[in-house]
Amino acid sequence: MTRTVLATVVALAGITAARGADEPPGARRRLDALEFHARAAERTGVLVPMYVYPADVHKNPAYNRLIEIKRQFRTVPVWVIVNPASGPGARADANYTKAIDRLCGAGCVVLGYVPTTYGKRAAADVRADIDQWQKLYPRAQGIFFDEMVYEDTAAGAKHQAALSAYARDAGFWPTVGNPGADTPGRYFTAKAADVIVTYEGNTCPKEERLKGDYFGGYADHPPFTRGVLLHSQEKFDRAAVRLVSKYAGWVYVTEGVFRPNDPKAANPWDRLSKHLEATCEALTEK
């Protein structure tokens, strides 16, 4: 049924785009409702920060393993964040071009990394990165806004929503914002991103935190709009992943370690998680 609804959404999107200003007033609302229904029925997916350089791209063990996992778990959505140079860089890298091609060929959705420095980076520079992704790596489908602003202010939500809207207008979907922390509900209401990572840390959050069920929280917004990233997980906790999947549509678990102020443990995303197969297995359980 989900595939049928998604096909309907795609068809209606084409009709809506063709009609433009002549579309009926309720067309956008109906299309949004159909998209909501389709996404609400989707299985929880994995959001992979793939900050691994694709050297010897056809034989690269990390990329080949990721591609094989996606082919093995075809019903698990896989979104992959690629990051050539803390953003798209100044020129196209042929290894990244081919890596993106291969990921798309396996059915992964590829997101281009864009830093926002918690709202401190100039919006013009962020927009320039988005344009550069479109120019250098046209097969990248979405944008990942790292270090997303999350202060509980109307100005913060408006700022991030404008960046996300710019990416969408450029043809990118999805947009993912990563504050890595509890995010006020106003950001979801403002459509600051299609998905917001509400937690990034080294322990699985408690169920109450995953719910976000408090005034100003995010419980009024569906799981498919939320993500959780867990690092420093030497052992895989299947129950924790199942718990996260109740409240978040996107999850990733890695053994990569992060410790503040420790240069030897500064980047937990510099490898493909050894837990990825187990995560996909847990997400396919009924």
Q: Is 254 left (phi over 0), alpha (psi -120 to 50) or beta?
A: beta
The 10s digit of each residue's pLDDT in 214-252 is 999 999 999 999 999 999 999 999 999 999 999 999 999
Of 250, 273, 234, the closest CA to residue 69 belongs to 273
- In the prediction, which pLDDT does 22 show? 60
Judged against a pLDDT cut of 50, whether residue 19 lies above it is answered with no
What gap in Å lies between CA 161 and CA 177, rounded to an integer? 10
29-53 average pLDDT score = 94
Higher pLDDT, 15 or 237: 237
Angle, vertex CA 75, rays to CA 72 and CA 77, nearest 5: 100
Judged against a pLDDT cut of 70, whether residue 108 lies above it is answered with yes
- In the prediction, which pLDDT does 12 show? 44
pTM of the model: 0.92
Residues 6 or more apart from 102 whose CB is under 8 A from it? 57, 58, 63, 67
Instruction: Look over the chain and give the mean of its residue pLDDT values, rounded to a whole number.
Output: 93
Judged against a pLDDT cut of 50, whether residue 95 lies above it is answered with yes
Judged against a pLDDT cut of 90, whether residue 2 lies above it is answered with no
The 10s digit of each residue's pLDDT in 38-48 is 999 999 999 99
- In the prediction, which pLDDT does 281 show? 98
What gap in Å lies between CA 225 and CA 190, rounded to an integer? 12
Which range, of 24-38, 89-103, 132-146, 218-232, averages the lowest pLDDT?
24-38
User: How does strand 226-230 pair with strand 195-201?
Assistant: parallel
For the CA atoms of 214, 218, 219, 224, the dihedral, rounded to the nearest 10 degrees, stands at -170
What gap in Å lies between CA 112 and CA 48, rounded to an integer? 12
The 10s digit of each residue's pLDDT in 148-159 is 999 999 999 999
Judged against a pLDDT cut of 50, whether residue 73 lies above it is answered with yes
**Maximum separation of any 2 CA atoms in the chain, in Å:** 58
Residues in the chain: 286
Judged against a pLDDT cut of 70, whether residue 86 lies above it is answered with yes
Judged against a pLDDT cut of 50, whether residue 11 lies above it is answered with no
Confidence of residue 25 (pLDDT cuts 50, 70, 90): confident
Contact, 194 vs 176, CB < 8 A? yes
Judged against a pLDDT cut of 60, whether residue 79 lies above it is answered with yes
44-64 average pLDDT score = 98
- In the prediction, which pLDDT does 18 show? 43
